[in-house]
Amino acid sequence: MMNKKNAIFVVTFFLGCLCTINFWVYSRLTVDDAFITWRYGKNLVDAGIWNYNPNFYDLTQAYTNPIIAIISIIPAFIGIDTVFFFKAISILSVVIFCIWYLKESRGSWIPLLIILSIPATVIHAFAGLETFIYVLLVSVLIIELDKNSWGSSILCAVLLFMTRPESWLLVVIMPFYFSIHLKNLAEFKENISIYSKLNILAREFDLSLFFKTFCALALPLGAYLIVHKLYFGYALPNTYYVKSGGVFSMAVFMKFNFFLLPIFLLYFQNKYKLILFLIIFFEGIIYNYSKSILLMDYSSRFIFHVFFPIYISMSIILTKKILPKFFSINFSKLTSKITFNIILIGFLMVFIRGIGVRNIIPITYYPRALDAHASFGKLLKNISHKYAIHTFMLGDAGMAAFHSGINAFDNAGLGSSKAAHNGISEKLLDNYGIDLIAYQSRPDGIRLSDYNQDLVHRWAVSKNFQYICEVYFLDDYTLKLYSRRDIPELYDLCLISKEKNDRPDIEYLRNIIFVPPWQYWRE
């Protein structure tokens, strides 16, 4: 019979193998949206302009993660590969997370290996977006709130303000968290009625600390919003206006709420304030997600925003008092049973979603994009002067625009404030002066119903645009190129992209799976 020491070794070895496999397979992913944010640092260095495009027309805050936008100045300034630079940032973030987790959990490595063994964790750590930094900061914030550490919590919240807009809720709920003191916990527990409990909370409310906390949070957030309002004309990110028009979905709301269940385990430790804080914070986020258009939800990204901080913070807090060291469960305790089952179920749900067939696309996504979107953008940079190409249109707002060095009109609206607020019109297309159009298409035709491409196509026909060729990304996703003039160099690009990408995903995967992931850590 296997003893405890051997069992721990076997589990550790198995999880370690999964972590290694995940790194090898998924760290090659870099998503197109990351290049939207990185374009700001590049444009600032190359053109001296802080905008999605390298000019002052249609100033647009296309990013929701200013901390990443600011960091993107560094690789552009020192002249190193931006993708490689942010892969290094990803590795550093994961290392910092591991050190922090082991310190806070007193060396409990099994839960750490479990979270790293989920493909979604590695995908979000290396995709180039702010997702992993965001969930790490939220996890740190929860632990610092549990310690009642005011200064560390404020610092963490301010960093979160610069990472994702969901964190802006903190400016309202954190002042209440620090201002309510449950000095007489026994009295609070004995009073059953809500009215009595509210009276106790009101009696122990610290008004001065409330205003101190509110000002410490509101001033930096207010400065951030004012600066963006003055510069871009709108305080909120452009994506808010593009993606907030959805209809509330009860199914999405209930699905997200499942991952909040571990919070209620804090009841056994009398952490009522923390329970209330977490419920209000995450319910606000979940409600917003339930009525938003969740684009780029690869590998359950938005569920990951909820699941990861809950799993990490609860495993730290519960390991300290309910669960013994190294996550060895004492099944004689009811609370331990509940803890184990809820965390395990949540883990399995995300794990199953993470390793599903849909994640074949993240594995092949960036290698394909290098031969399609990236090559297209690089070619535009080389030929734009020769053919007087000043602006091109493409609904994928990141990679091609990043490499092109010229103006890009994003007909999806993410990269255009005018399109997001006023819609696309022939006058706007005229003002942009589009010379080349890349329609999101399938081999059988342009997806005219997507992103006003029907209107654009009518405008292009009236301007005598001619069909050039088709850039291949997937067998059901291509870019049909139309131009004001013939551009022979584009034909070679289309032929090469078709030769490399016009194959089933499984076949493509077999060809790249044994290629080291760092071979794709490049622009």
Interior CA angle at 441 toward 437 and 444, to 5°? 125
Instruction: Indicate the pairing of strand 407-409 with strand 391-394.
Output: parallel
Cα–Cα distance measured from residue 511 to residue 509, given in angstroms and rounded to the nearest whole number: 5
**439 token code pair:** 């329609």
Q: Can you point out the beta strands (E) in 158-247?
A: none
Which residues have C-beta within 8 Å of that of residue 11, sequence separation ≥ 6? 110
Interior CA angle at 463 toward 457 and 469, to 5°? 60
Instruction: DSSP letter for 59, please.
Output: -
Report the candidate in 69, 134, 95, 118 with the shortest Cα–Cα distance to residue 302: 134
Q: Where are the domains of the chain?
A: 4-30+81-355, 361-520
Instruction: DSSP letter for 164, please.
Output: -
Cα–Cα distance measured from residue 403 to residue 381, given in angstroms and rounded to the nearest whole number: 7
Cα–Cα distance measured from residue 157 to residue 163, given in angstroms and rounded to the nearest whole number: 10
Cα–Cα distance measured from residue 297 to residue 258, given in angstroms and rounded to the nearest whole number: 18
Cα–Cα distance measured from residue 157 to residue 141, given in angstroms and rounded to the nearest whole number: 7
Cα–Cα distance measured from residue 448 to residue 81, given in angstroms and rounded to the nearest whole number: 36
CA-CA-CA-CA dihedral for 74, 75, 76, 81, to nearest 10: -170
Cα–Cα distance measured from residue 441 to residue 425, given in angstroms and rounded to the nearest whole number: 21
Beta bridge partners of 392: 408, 436
Confirm if 447 and 453 have CB atoms less than 8 A apart: yes
**226 token code pair:** 């004012």
Cα–Cα distance measured from residue 37 to residue 69, given in angstroms and rounded to the nearest whole number: 5
Which residues have C-beta within 8 Å of that of residue 320, sequence separation ≥ 6? 105, 106
pTM of the model: 0.90
**322 token code pair:** 């309910």
**Cβ density class 79-95: b for 16+ within 10 Å, e for less:** eeebbebbbebbeebbe
Q: Is 437 helix (H, G, I), strand (E, B) or coil?
A: strand
Element (H, E) at 468: strand 466-474
Cα–Cα distance measured from residue 417 to residue 134, given in angstroms and rounded to the nearest whole number: 25
Q: Which amino acid is at 357?
A: V
Report the candidate in 25, 9, 3, 172 with the shortest Cα–Cα distance to residue 516: 25
For the chain, give me the number of helices (H) and strands (E)? 26, 6
**297 token code pair:** 């939800």
Place of tokens 């005219």: 448
- Tens digit of each residue's pLDDT, the chain (523 residues): 556 677 777 878 888 899 999 999 999 999 999 999 999 999 999 999 999 999 999 999 999 999 999 999 999 999 999 999 999 999 999 999 999 999 998 888 888 888 898 888 999 999 999 999 999 999 999 999 999 999 999 999 999 999 999 999 999 999 999 988 765 555 555 555 566 656 666 666 778 999 999 999 999 999 999 999 999 999 999 988 887 767 888 888 988 888 888 888 888 787 888 998 999 999 999 999 888 776 677 888 888 999 899 989 988 887 665 444 434 444 334 444 455 545 555 655 555 554 444 445 678 999 999 999 999 999 999 999 999 999 999 988 899 999 999 999 999 888 999 999 999 999 999 999 999 999 999 878 999 888 899 999 999 999 999 999 999 998 889 999 999 999 999 999 999 999 999 998 889 999 999 999 999 999 9
Cα–Cα distance measured from residue 68 to residue 58, given in angstroms and rounded to the nearest whole number: 22
CA-CA-CA-CA dihedral for 392, 394, 470, 441, to nearest 10: -150
Say how many residues make up the chain: 523
Place of tokens 């289309």: 494
Q: Is 483 helix (H, G, I), strand (E, B) or coil?
A: strand
Cα–Cα distance measured from residue 522 to residue 92, given in angstroms and rounded to the nearest whole number: 17
CA distances to 106, 335, 339, 340, 442 from 330, in Å: 18, 9, 11, 10, 56
